[in-house]
Structure 1
C-alpha cells in the first residue's frame, strides 16, 4: 500500500518540476528528503509496534500531544489524500494528452474518478487485487526503465547524435547547481510531495496479522526502496536527457524514450505511468477512507462514516472522497495550466504537517517511556539527535513553502485549513464531548 501511494505522480510527473527548480542537484534533495522520511517512518514504527491500532498516528497524536493534535493529524491526512488524489487525477489527464492531445483534460479526469469510485465500492478484495497488480506493474516498469536507461548510457542504444546520453549531462548544462542554492532549496517544496502517502503503513497497523514482525520489516524496507527508485530512476533520466529539456508537458519517463527514438518505448511507458496514477488514486481513497472511519469512531467525524456495506467497504467515505474529487474535475476545466504545481505544493504542506504530528507524538511517547523506565521494542536510530534534526528539517520545508512565490498560495490555504480545523474542533467536537454525546 505504501509503494502504491508513494510511487506515483510524485515520481512520474512531479519530478519534472523538481528537476526544473534544482537541476541535477535534485538527486541530493531526494536523498536528504528520503532520509527525513525514513526517520518519520521509524518514529511511526516505534509507536505502531508498541500500540498497533487502526488509523494509528491520529490516535498517537491525541494520546501523546493532545486531543486537538489527533484531530488535526487525522483530518489533515484526509485532506492530504484528497489533495494528492487531485494531483494524481490531474496527472492522469496530462498522460492521456500524450495520446489524445485534442481532448480536454477534464474529460479524462472525470472518467478516472468514476472508474476508481467503482473499484472501491465493489469490495475490499477487488480493491486489493487491483492495487496488487498496479503496484507490480509500475515497480517492474521502473526497474526495467532503469536497466534500459543504463544500457542506453553505456552502449549508446537509440542515440541519434554523438554524446546524446552520458553522465556528462549531469554537469554539462550549468553544473550540478544550475539555479544556485536558492533553486536547490526551493525544490524541496516539490520533492517532499513525492514521498507523501508512505505513512499509510500506520493506517493499516491495526489490521496487520503480526504487527511486531510485519511493521518493522515494512518500515525498514519501503523507504529505502522508494529512495532507490527515485534517485536511480531520475539519475538515469538526466543522464539520457539534459535536465533543461525536461519541460513537464509529459512525464520525464515518457519523454526520454521519445527523445532518443526507441521505437514504441514512449507509448509503453505512458501506459505504465497511467497505471501508476490509477494505483496512487486507488491508495489515496483507501487511506482517506480508513482515516475518516477511525475519526468517526472517535467522535471526531460524522457517525455516517462508520457505516460499512455488506462487503465491508466504508462506502460513505468512498462517496465523500469521490464527490470531493469532482472538485479536481472543475479545477482542471478552469485552470489546466496552473493546477498541478499549486496542488503539489498544497499536498506538500499537508504531508509535512502530518509528519510533524507524528514526530511530536513520538517525542511525547519517548518522554513517557523514559519516565516509566520502559524499554522500546523498535527504537528509532540515533536518538535523540536524528529525531530533532528531522523536526528542524520539517520546519524548514514549511518555511520554504511560505518563501517561494509559486508555492506561497499553498501556505495561505494550508494556514486557513488549520484555523478552520481549530474552529471546528472547538465548536463541534468539544461541545459534543462536553454534552456527553
Structure 2
C-alpha cells in the first residue's frame, strides 16, 4: 500500500525489537490483558450503577470492542508495528494525531497499572488485613517489572500462564454457577433476583449507560494485541487468530459470568463493601476454601493485567522516542531487545498509585479509574477515526486487496466512533467520573501545546532521516 517514503519509513525506525511471541501466546495475551480488575472488581461498581441491567451495559461494551478489534485487526495485518494505532494515526490522520494518541494512551495505561496495583492491595487484605497496602504494591510491582525487563519471551511465558489460570478459573466458576442455578436443588439461586430490589433496571436506562463506561474499562487492553504484533513471529497469522478467538471468549466470559453472579447474589449485595462480586458469590455458596481460592485467582488476574499493561506502555514510549516525540534514551534497547529506559518511566503509575492509596485508601480504586479512562476512551475513539481515514486512503490510492477487512464499512466504523464520543461526553455528567474530563481535557491541551512548541521539529527531522535511510 505504501512505499519507503510512506508508512514503511515509520515501521523502519521501530526496528530492533525481537519477534519472539508465538500465535498461542498472542491469543492468550489478548484475552489475558482484558480479563483483569475490570471484570473481577470493576464489575461490582457497574452492577451498582445498572443493577441486573448491567448485562445490557456489558453487551454494548462488547459490541464496541468487537467493532474496534475489527478496525484494528485490518490495520495491524497491513502494518504490524509496535507503534500500532499511534503510528497509524500519525500516517493516516497527521503527526499531531499520532503524538496525541500515543501519549494519551501511554498515560491511560500507566494510570491503569496503578489501578491494578491498587486492587492488589485490596485483595491481599483478605489474608493479611493488618499489613499496609503499599507494601504489597511495591512487592508485586518489583516482580512484574523484572519479568518485563528480562526479555519479550519471558513476558510472553509469564502472561501465557497467568492467562491460563484465569481462564481455567472462570470456566470452573461458570460450571459451578450453572449447576447451582439450573440444578434444581438450590431454590435460593435463580433469575428471581433479576426482578427483586427495584426490578431489572432499578436505576433506569441512564444507569445502564453509565455502566457502559465501566464495561469499556473492563475490555481495555484488548487493543494491546496490535502493539504486540510488532514482536510476533508471524504477525498476520497471530493477529487474525487472536481476533477470532478473543471476542467470542470475552463475550462468553463477561456476559455469562455476570449472568450467573446476578442469579446467585442479589444485585444490591454483589460486591458490597468494595469486594469482588466473585468473592461475594463464594461467601454465599459456602464451599470450604472457595473464597480464598477465588481471591487468589482475582489476584492473578490483576497481576496478569498489570504485566500486560507494563509491556504495552513500554512499547508505546519506545515508539514515541523513535518518532522524535520523547528523549532518545527511551528508544534504546538492551541486548535482549527490551527498551529498559522506557520500562522504567512507565513504572511511574505504580508510584502514583502508592501515593493515591496512602491519601485516599477507600476511594483510590474508582479515582484511578476516573483518571486513567480518558486516554483509553480517546485512543479508542481515534482508532475508529483512523480506520476511516485508512480505508479511504487505500481506496483513493488503488491499494491492493487487504488481507483482513473490517465488515460493514463505513457504517460500523462510524457507529463505533459515535458511541465512543457519546461515552466520553457522558463522563462529564457522572459524579464518579467527573475527574475524567477535568484531568483529560487540560492534559490533551498541554500535549498539543508541547507538540507545537517542542516536538514538531524533532518529528520532522526523524521523518527526514527515515526517508533517507
Measured against aligned partners, the alpha-carbon deviations of 1:16-68 in whole angstroms (never above 9, x if no partner) come to 00000000111111111111111111111111122222221111001111101
Q: Which of residues 56, 63, 68 is equivalent to 2:96?
A: 68
* Displacement after TM superposition at 1:179 (Å): 0.9
CA distance in 1, matches of 2:376, 2:322: 23
TM-score (norm: length of structure 1): 0.95
Conservation of the 8 A alpha-carbon contact between 1:31 and 1:231: yes
Q: Which of residues 278, 292, 310 is equivalent to 1:253?
A: 278
Conservation of the 8 A alpha-carbon contact between 2:117 and 2:353: yes
1:430 corresponding residue in structure 2 = 456
Q: Which of residues 241, 244, 252 is equivalent to 2:265?
A: 241
Unpaired segments of 5 or more residues in structure 1? none
Structure 2 residue 339 is the aligned partner of structure 1 residue 314: yes
Conservation of the 8 A alpha-carbon contact between 1:44 and 1:202: yes
CA distance in 2, matches of 1:273, 1:403: 31
Q: Indicate how the Cα distance of structure 1 residues 58 and 272 shifts in structure 2: closer, same or farther if over 3 A, else same.
A: same
Q: How many residues end up aligned between the 2 structures?
A: 433
Structure 2 residue 164 is the aligned partner of structure 1 residue 164: no
2:237 corresponding residue in structure 1 = 213
Structure 2 residue 203 is the aligned partner of structure 1 residue 175: no
CA distance in 1, matches of 2:111, 2:410: 32
Moved more, 212-221 or 87-96: 212-221
Unpaired segments of 5 or more residues in structure 2? 1-28
Q: Which of residues 197, 213, 221 is equivalent to 1:197?
A: 221
Measured against aligned partners, the alpha-carbon deviations of 1:370-399 in whole angstroms (never above 9, x if no partner) come to 213434332211122111111110011101
CA distance in 1, matches of 2:236, 2:165: 29
1:285 corresponding residue in structure 2 = 310
Question: What SS does the aligned partner of 2:432 have?
Answer: coil
Structure 2 residue 355 is the aligned partner of structure 1 residue 330: yes
Measured against aligned partners, the alpha-carbon deviations of 1:241-287 in whole angstroms (never above 9, x if no partner) come to 11100225211111211122111111111111111111111100001
Structure 2 residue 420 is the aligned partner of structure 1 residue 402: no
CA distance in 2, matches of 1:267, 1:156: 27
Q: Indicate how the Cα distance of structure 1 residues 392 and 178 shifts in structure 2: closer, same or farther if over 3 A, else same.
A: same
Conservation of the 8 A alpha-carbon contact between 1:189 and 1:345: no
Question: What SS does the aligned partner of 2:214 have?
Answer: helix
CA distance in 1, matches of 2:134, 2:461: 45
1:296 corresponding residue in structure 2 = 321
Conservation of the 8 A alpha-carbon contact between 2:227 and 2:312: yes
Q: Which of residues 389, 402, 405 is equivalent to 1:376?
A: 402
2:5 corresponding residue in structure 1 = none
1:45 corresponding residue in structure 2 = 73
CA distance in 2, matches of 1:363, 1:50: 15
Question: What SS does the aligned partner of 1:42 have?
Answer: helix
* Displacement after TM superposition at 1:151 (Å): 1.1
Conservation of the 8 A alpha-carbon contact between 1:156 and 1:165: no
Q: Which of residues 363, 388, 392 is equivalent to 2:418?
A: 392
2:128 corresponding residue in structure 1 = 100
Structure 2 residue 250 is the aligned partner of structure 1 residue 230: no
CA distance in 2, matches of 1:109, 1:345: 20
* Displacement after TM superposition at 1:119 (Å): 2.1
CA distance in 1, matches of 2:405, 2:461: 40
Moved more, 280-289 or 208-217: 208-217
CA distance in 2, matches of 1:232, 1:347: 27
CA distance in 1, matches of 2:142, 2:92: 39
Conservation of the 8 A alpha-carbon contact between 1:13 and 1:248: no
TM-score (norm: length of structure 2): 0.89
* Displacement after TM superposition at 1:434 (Å): 6.1
Q: Indicate how the Cα distance of structure 1 residues 420 and 248 shifts in structure 2: closer, same or farther if over 3 A, else same.
A: farther
1:135 corresponding residue in structure 2 = 163
CA distance in 1, matches of 2:459, 2:163: 42
Conservation of the 8 A alpha-carbon contact between 1:3 and 1:135: yes
Conservation of the 8 A alpha-carbon contact between 1:72 and 1:421: yes
Conservation of the 8 A alpha-carbon contact between 2:112 and 2:349: no
Measured against aligned partners, the alpha-carbon deviations of 1:176-217 in whole angstroms (never above 9, x if no partner) come to 101112211211221110011111111122333333332122
CA distance in 2, matches of 1:213, 1:117: 29
